[in-house]
Amino acid sequence: MTHESVWYSRPRKYGKGSRECRVCTHRAGLIRKYGMNICRQCFREKSTDIGFNKVRFFPLQIRRPRYIPNNTRAKRWHRHVQLLQPIRRYEHRLKTS
C-alpha cells in the first residue's frame, strides 16, 4: 500500500474537512451562518455585494478616558458601558431593487 493510495482516502462527509468556501475553496475561517459558507477573507470583500452593512452602535465621542484618577469614576464608567447595547459588526439588510 503506497502513500498515494492512503493519503486523503478517508471520506469527508462531516466536520471541518468536508466544508470549504464557495468562492475560493479555502477551509479555514468559514462563516456558516445563514448557509453562506464563505471564508472570512472573501466575506470582507463581498459583504457589500451580498447586502451586509457595517453598523456601529457606539458613537465616536464615547471613549474610555485614558487615565481614571479614582475608583468612583471607574465604577461610573463601567455602569455606563453596561447600559449601552453591544457592538454588532454587520447587519443584514435585503437589497430592494
Can you give the residue ranges of every domain in the chain? 15-90
Q: Which of 54, 59, 57 is nearest to 93 (CA)?
A: 54
> 15-90 maps to which CATH number?
4.10.830.10
d(CA 67, CA 75): 13
Quick one: pLDDT at residue 28? 92
pLDDT reported for residue 2:
75
pLDDT in tens, the chain (97 residues): 677 777 777 878 888 888 999 999 999 999 998 888 999 999 999 888 888 888 766 555 555 555 555 555 555 555 555 545 455 555 555 555 5
Q: Give yes or no for a contact between 16 and 27, defined as CB atoms under 8 angstroms apart.
A: yes
Q: Which helix (H) or strand (E) holds 45?
A: helix 40-50
Q: What is the pTM of this model?
A: 0.51
Q: How many CB atoms lie within 10 A of CB 66?
A: 5
